[in-house]
Structure formats: C-alpha cells, structure tokens
Amino acid sequence: MGVRVPRILPQAFHSMGWVRSSVSGTGRWTADGGASTVSEWFRAMVAAATDAMLLLDSEGAIRFINISGEKLFQQRSVSVLGNSVEQLLSMPMPEMSTSPHTVTGLITDAIRLRRQEQLALWGTGADGSSFAAVVSVIPLEDLSEPMALLQVHEFAEEQQREARLRYLTNFDPVTGLPNRALFSDRLRVAAARCARGESGLVLGYFDIDRFKDFNETLGHRAGDDVLCEIAQRIKRHVGDENTLARLNGDEFALLIEGAYAANEVEVFARSLLNAIALPFFIDGHELYVTASIGIAVYDRIGDEAGDLLRKAEIAMYRSKSEGRNNFCCYSSALEGGVPGRLRLEAELHHALERGEFILYYQPLVEISSQRIVGLEALLRWRHPQRGVITPSEFIPVLEESKLIVSVGDWITQEACRFLATLSGDLDRPLRLAVNVSVEQIRHPGFARSVELALAASGLPSSALELELTETMLLDHTAVVHESLAALTQLGIAISVDDFGTGYSSLAYLKRFPVSVLKIDRSFISDVSSEGDDMVIAGAIINMARSLSLGVVVEGVENESQARFLRQWPELIVQGYLFGPPLPEAEARVRWPGIFPA
C-alpha cells in the first residue's frame, strides 16, 4: 500500500556521540565531549524534521517532543512532558476494539525486546480530533536508561482510509492479534526458513470448546471478552517472540520457531491447556473455558505453509473428538480419520432423511436396590461407511448448522415412542431422560414440539425429563425463558447435565424448578484414590439433598466407586458398571424385566 516511512536508526545518535542529559528531564540533548557544532546540527535536524518525534522512557512516559510533534498534536511540549504516551496515541479503531494491547504495552515491549516496530495508531489532537498515523518505534540501546524513539508520520486523507484498511487486512480488531492473512504470511516465511535448514517450526491450532455457548448465553460483548482473555493467556504463556493470530471465530493459531523434541512439545501443550483453563470472571460470571489444540511440527522439506495449517487443524479436530480440553499432535494416521467439516455437514443433512440416526438407551439405576428406574436416550449415527459414531464427533456440527433442531424433534418423538412401548413391569413408572441442545431450547417452537411428541406417544408429561446444561439455564434471552417456563408448565422435569463443569452458580435454581442434578463423571473418576474429587462429589450430593433435588451420578465404572456412593441409598447412578448404552433391540435382551413379554 506504499506508505513510505523514513527511519532513523538508533545507532545514529551514538555514532554522533550523543547521550541524553540525565538530570534535566526536559528531554533536551547535549553533546558528549562538548562538540557544540554537532549539538547544533543535531538540534537543527530534529527541529527541521517534518515527522513528529518523541522520546519515551521504559514506562511509556514522554520525555521529549520535537516541534513537528507539538504541531501535530497541537500541544506545547511543557504540557505533555512526563505524561503517558496514551495521551497522544491510541490503538486504532478504539470504538471496535477490546484489544488486550495498549500503546504503552506495545512500546515498552519493543524497548524490552529491543525490537523495532512499525505500528498503525490513532493520534489525538488537543481539540479532540483524531488521525491515523504510522508510528515507528525504535528502541535506543546503550543509553543510561532504556528508551525508545517514536517517529510519528500522519497519513494524508486517502492514506487514512488506506491505514484503516491495512489494519483490517492484517489484524483482528477484537483481539488486536494478527489475522489469518498476516499469519499465513509469517508462516510462509518461517516454513521457507525451515526448508533452508535454518530453524524448526511448531504450529498450534486452537479452538475454544463450546465457545458458541458463551457467546450466545452471555452476549457477544462478553464473548469478545472471552476471546481477548484467552488471547492474552496464550500470549503470556508463549511470550512475545512467537506469533499468535486469530484465524476466525474462536480459532487461534500459534507459530513457534525453533526445534523442539516431541516430549517438550507435549509438556508445553499441557501447560498451555492448564493456563487457558484457569477460571476467570466476566460480567460477574465465573467462567471455565477450555480449548482443543492441534499441533503440527515441520518435519520434512517441502511441508508448505498451507499444508502445515491443514495438518494442525486435522489434529485439532481429533483432540476435540477425544473429549475437548485436549491436544493432539498430527500424524499421517489421522488423515482420513476426521472428515472435513464441510463433508460432515453435508452427510448430516442426509442422515436424518435416510434414517441413519438411532437412539441408544442407558439405564439409570437406584444404587441400593439396583433397580432400573429410568433410561437416558443417547444419540448415535449409523454411518454407512464408518459404522456407529458417537455424538461428540457430530453434535457440535449439528448445533452449528442448526440441524439439531429437526434432529432434536426426531429424538424426542422417537424416545417417547420407545418409552410408551415399555410395560412398566416395575413398581414405579420408568422415567426417560432426553438430552437437549442449546439450539433447540432457543428455537421458539421447542416446547410445542415436545408437547406434540408426548401427545403422539400417549405418555404423561411426568415421564419425561429433559437434560440441560448449566449454561443453557443461565441463558437470559426471552425465547429461552419462555421455552423453559412452558416446559415446566407442562409438568416436564428438568435436570442439570454434567453438573459441576459449568458455572455452578446455582442462580438458575431460583428461576426454574430443577428436579435433578447429574454430577459429571469427572468428579467420581478418582473416587477410588480418595482424592479431593471424592470430597467434592460428597459435598455436591449433600448439598443437592438439602435442596430436595434428586441426584444422578454419571460414569460409575467400578465397584470401589459404587461402594463409596452406597452411603446415599437413594442415589441414582449411571455408568458402565450398571449397563452401557444399548440400541433398543439389545436393551430388550439385556434388561427383559422392563420390556413387555
């Protein structure tokens, strides 16, 4: 875009034998050794410079401003000296930006890392007017204290537009990070360096888990805050020498140059996941955000930039399908294993029409009597080539494409039909738990479609229990509120699935009559080792009892977990120990007692 910015090299000051007078603080320069002619030249040069020039200390305070600077910012030198540079310069498009970067931060980083920077910033005049400017930041070395020279070059009118455009072409206005275009550029350069054997390269591809939930529950502004916070956490963890970019939506990419052993990469990835997963507060909500990371390492000549990015993305999808909050390193074995997102979406469109979805049922068992008191319907996709696929691989795509609304309708109808065929041989009616996705509950027709499914099957509404996550219960939008109110009006029970993995603020208990908390399986996975999780699981169970809520403990896999849970005889448990999810035909054989003869 061709904006030429004259540069002054820091060495120029030194080669002329100049140092800053250390005590005056006025920012004037004196000759070292009394070379008064040089001093005059120097002063004349700085005074005549058409670009504004400022000297900043390592805190970002203004220590000197030349005449062009005074003119440009419409400020007398005396009224800016000692003040923060933020008084004169700010990040571009502040109205759009919630960038974690500040001008001071960028400049002090440049000084600390001794890195020259060229920044597109906004200048502010004393009358409040603003203008776009190219600012060259030149760290000055070997002075008595670290400083930076700033050259500020105002853009002409058409250049202003160009600057805005250029900023948007290369940076993401939300996080202030490089965007995909700039990242691809840097990746290309790095890959070329690898090809010449000059360095190694590790590429990380991040996707925030369940970001859509945050965005749509808390609002886009809070969603942006989540993105900025995650960006900052990654940046703090990896340091400024490496390029972190926001590729789009909730996807970030990280470029690390250098050769690392596989185990170093793994240790690093794990520590990065931990740093991301620390709780934080936004708008008074305590949030837990996790990410899935895919990693590709440059390992052979000819690995092109685009190729590496694709490999890291494939690895990211694999780590997502393995349960999120996870990382995965690319290997050729992953090729073909994870179909492209688009192909998956296209296939899912057909799956409903072709009857490829099926429901599995997993028993809910009362721990003391070992009786089956209910069933949870769990979705499966019988893929024509790949066999039976579990929901973690395709539910996110169903949700993103909103296909979940029609698939969800089918799930409720099918589950109600199935339950109506059961004999109820037991001394209490079986309950049927159906998982509901956020996109369904956000759909205005949801409560009505559940009502119709019940009516068609002839089941009473008390037989049905809808499993929602905490995030969904905290969604304050009118449509969600109305759906939930209509469902509870119908007498349908609501249970909180995966309890303990979301907000756990319990604020929603005041708004909706929740019947059951389903404690996430992570809380009892360690019960046998008598760790903290056991204490937490016990505390949640006791708390739920004191609130007269039912409790289901998910993921009970072994006898020692069951032994621990038997302290609460009325507890309902679910897990492989008591029965895996099975398709209808197999369930009939496995649990004949609950089916008609």
Six-digit token pair at 439?
């996109």
249 binds ligand C2E (CB under 6 A): no
CB-count burial class (<10 Å; 0-12, 13-18, 19+) for 488: middle
Would you give the binding string for ligand C2E spanning residues 527-556, x where CB under 6 A is met? ---------------------------xxx
Query: Token pair 């799956």 is at which residue?
Result: 351
Cα distance between residue 218 and residue 221, in whole Å: 8
Among 379, 454, 562, 565, which residue sits at the site for ligand C2E (rule: CB under 6 A)?
Answer: 379
Please, what is the minimum distance in Å from the beta carbon of residue 596 to Mg ion?
26
Give phi and psi for 74, each to the nearest 5.
Answer: 50, 40
Among Mg ion, ligand C2E, none, residue 104 binds (CB under 5-8 Å by kind): none
Interior CA angle at 313 toward 307 and 316, to 5°? 145
99 binds ligand C2E (CB under 6 A): no
Cβ atoms of 419 and 363 within 8 Å: the answer is: no
Six-digit token pair at 159?
């250049």
Among 21, 390, 413, 488, which residue sits at the site for ligand C2E (rule: CB under 6 A)?
Answer: 390
Among ligand C2E, Mg ion, none, residue 390 binds (CB under 5-8 Å by kind): ligand C2E
Would you give the binding string for Mg ion spanning residues 516-555, x where CB under 5 A is met? --------------------------------------x-
Among 176, 396, 550, 581, which residue sits at the site for ligand C2E (rule: CB under 6 A)?
Answer: 581
Please, what is the minimum distance in Å from the beta carbon of residue 130 to ligand C2E?
48
Q: Which amino acid is at 515?
A: S
Cα distance between residue 383 and residue 380, in whole Å: 9
Contacting residues for 563 by C-beta, under 8 A, at least 6 apart = none
What part of residues 418-447 is at the interface with Mg ion (CB under 5 A)? 435
- Cα dist. 28→39, 42, 52 in Å? 10, 11, 15
Would you give the binding string for ligand C2E spanning residues 396-415, x where CB under 6 A is met? ---------------x----
561 binds ligand C2E (CB under 6 A): no
CA contacts within 13 A on the Cβ side of 483: 25
| Residue 65 or 432 with smaller CB distance to ligand C2E | 432
Among ligand C2E, Mg ion, none, residue 379 binds (CB under 5-8 Å by kind): ligand C2E
557 binds ligand C2E (CB under 6 A): yes
| Residue 124 or 437 with smaller CB distance to ligand C2E | 437
- Sequence-ordered strand ranges (E) for 500-576: 514-519, 550-553, 572-573
Crossing angle of helices 404-421 and 446-457, in 10° steps, is 20
Please, what is the minimum distance in Å from the beta carbon of residue 577 to ligand C2E?
7
Chain residues binding Mg ion by CB under 5 A are 435, 467, 497-498, 554
Chain residues binding ligand C2E by CB under 6 A are 362, 377-379, 390-392, 395, 411, 435-437, 467, 497-498, 521, 554-557, 574-576, 581
